[in-house]
Structure 1
């Protein structure tokens, strides 16, 4: 049976197209007659159902193998494939239905460890407990080292998110000229100028957790501050933004990273960091093409927890991998990463296990971004809106 397609393939006049041209084993680029057929499918308005995965989408990475079918519905067998969650493949799957066909884990030989999807229901088990007889000391003290002169906004966004996530006390160590902005914007936060000699002994003795990096630059003073923290602090730590750029520019700093430090690079920062944990620097395109591999390689090399930010944020301690599928394009705004650092830092200060803090922080950040988008629309969003809607996510989590 079947119909041999003429050279000018056309699928007009059909009510439904079932795409089963290629499956999850596709590795090579699609060319020639097969590419013509896919182009013909994409030219018509007929609904398309893909079997297992749209033809042309890599099941491993979500990358396009030359060309790919745009499906309206994908019916996939037994397990959702990683490439159906990662862009650009995720955008080609339409609605995804996972159908049980009787395959069990015992029947599958995994080439690598599975990637786990974060779900809203995970929050209930990840968030730290609250107590009716608590005081401000109960919920931890976060030391935030952020904001060179003219970059007070990064410190405000980060500290504001930390406070909104229930941290008992937040102290912002920043440039002296940021004092008025910080204390007028966030009267709930403590402020201290960073010392000229970069001796942070007193401040580290006060803290339960440290966050460093938002709004920092690569000056010698910032390098000394980071070096002091990395060499003297052995508690929970998250490093972001300027701290990551300093580590990328100085091999000596990368050797000071302690186990279970959380780092939160975006692909550009990961590209610069990659030269420190592998022989050749990866480009942003290479990182985006396989973010799971990039994050695992980083976490494995430095024994850290890597949160590789993006439309599909990857969280890994190198042994297990989690993928966030919430969030939206409205979160692609300056300061969004500072908010994430504040959320995770707050959870660390409250005693949350570092891996759980990274997972919960990414979930809270993304779900709050979705709540903000629902109320404001993605075009009108700014980073501070993510913080503003965190309370709604906490209320939803506590009501279940």
Structure 2
């Protein structure tokens, strides 16, 4: 499988990697406190660009370098004429190193300081969260937990420095409470945990400031993942040759729609057609044929009563999508078995994944894409949904290692794990929490693989087009009431830039 090019994507790192980048930057000659001042100055500019009318702020400072960033920001705010409330979770005389120097700078600038206590009143129009930083690995406890709860209870906009306190930088999990920020300004290297899992509920807008550090210049610190960028679409969807015909555009076969479950397969077929597949065929229960003809007459529908009726259909296709509306009864098992016997690339979703977990627990392929949501991923991995969500990047990579090919772990911050590494999709919205969205993604995957051949890059593109189409639809008509069938027309516009 050809590995796609990641050079145009933003690299994402784990906390320890960013810590090493920080250490090497200091070792190369930049003073640690100077780097802290640079970070605080960037955070101050981020604050001013979002809340230019604010005249007061509260800065909540923890005991480490994250708190040090907060102390310096408090000094900058005071020097700019704002009213500053500085609240320390650790007494200033107990600080050490750069954090102590930062606190002294703020005091010299005339910023007062209050030790945090349960009854303290937060007075700023905006709150700056400089409590914990990226070192957190578990649940926030003690006074820090109460401070986070107090910030959230204040119902004021929050700027989090580096990461919302309570969020785990390596996983995106919030195992307890976490600050709900309106904006997160993060430094040196962007963190994977800001883009997946629970993170979208807490980060607000993410403002990445590299502070002059060129992370990718350190070739031995390889990014944990990459963040997908919609600029890829223009590069990937060039105008077609004027001599193109349907035979050049691939043939997608959708296998699904057990008796009584025909809608999912029809959604997948229509999405495949709208994303430019030259031919789309459907193998479904006979009673769904009329509905297929009425909904999308361009699809070549075949009535299938069982595995014997499938015949040579998979061999005639460039890619086979199996799972939408498949069911787990005898019909679904027979149809999936027929698909697995084919050498064509496969896209497996929904009950296709559940059947893989129960009936084909050891099957591996390099030419397939598996598209589980967290529940399906848990069944495939033999663990709980909570364990999957506690570390989504690790779960996606573990499943890819176990099953081969490419794995798309769906959800907020969908992850694509393949031979080329791990990528995160930063697009999508809560309106996608409705039935049929996964079926549409499967159809899109089938169409792009049929046209492009490169399974992994097609998975990147399909995941991104799917999410961006939902974002366009929501922007026009709102998130609530967004239907899976709404996405195909918006997706068509995206792939014709």
Q: What's the TM-score, normalizing by structure 2?
A: 0.73
1:355 aligns with 2:456: yes
334, 348, 355: which one pairs with 1:239? 348
Instruction: Select the structure of larger CA radius of gyration.
Output: 2
2:290 to 174, 180, 191: 180
Residue 134 in 1 paired to residue 244 in 2?
yes
The answer to whether structure 1 residue 66 and structure 2 residue 188 are counterparts is no
In structure 2, the residue matched to 1:277 is none
SS of equivalent residue, structure 1 residue 41: helix
How many Å separate the matches in 2 of 1:128 and 1:214? Answer: 30
RMSD: 2.1
Deviation at 1:294, TM superposition (A): 0.8
- 2:355 counterpart SS class: helix
1:332 and 2:451 aligned? no
Query: Which among 181, 196, 209 is matched to residue 319 of structure 2?
Result: 209
Structure 1 unaligned regions, length at least 5? 275-280
Query: Is the Cα contact below 8 Å between 1:145 and 1:173 reproduced in 2?
Result: yes
Q: Deviations over 1:212-256 (max 9, x none)?
A: 11111112232122122212x122211111211111111xx2434
- Corresponding residue number in structure 1 for 2:397: 296
Cα–Cα, structure 1 residues 60 and 389, in superposed 2: closer, same or farther, change >3 Å?
same
Alignment of 1:171-320 (within 5 A): 171-194=281-304, 196-198=306-308, 200-231=310-341, 233-250=342-359, 253-274=360-381, 281-317=382-418, 319-320=420-421
After superposition, the Cα gap between the structure-2 partners of 1:56 and 1:108, relative to the gap in structure 1 and judged at 3 Å, is farther
Q: Secondary structure at the match of 1:198?
A: helix
Normalised to the residue count of structure 1, the TM-score between the two structures is 0.90
Cα deviation digits, residues 1-30 of structure 1 (max 9, x gap)? 463426334243335443222111122432
Q: Report deviation, 1:37.
A: 2.5
Taking a change above 3 Å as real, the CA distance of residues 124 and 267 of structure 1, as seen in their structure-2 partners, is same
How far off is 1:46 after superposition? 4.9
Structure 2 gap ranges (5+): 1-106
- 3-state SS in 2 of match to 1:188: coil
User: Mean Cα displacement is larger for which, 375-384 or 201-210?
Assistant: 201-210
Check 1:319–1:347 CA distance in 2 against 1; reply closer, same or farther (3 A cut).
Answer: closer
Counterpart of 1:74 in 2: which secondary structure?
Answer: strand
Q: Is the counterpart of residue 394 in structure 1 residue 495 in structure 2?
A: yes
Tell me which of 266, 274, 287 is aligned to 1:156.
Answer: 266
Shift of residue 158, structure 1, vs aligned partner: 0.6
1:167 aligns with 2:167: no
Once residues 200 and 307 of structure 2 are traced to their aligned partners in structure 1, the CA distance between those partners, rounded to angstroms, is 50
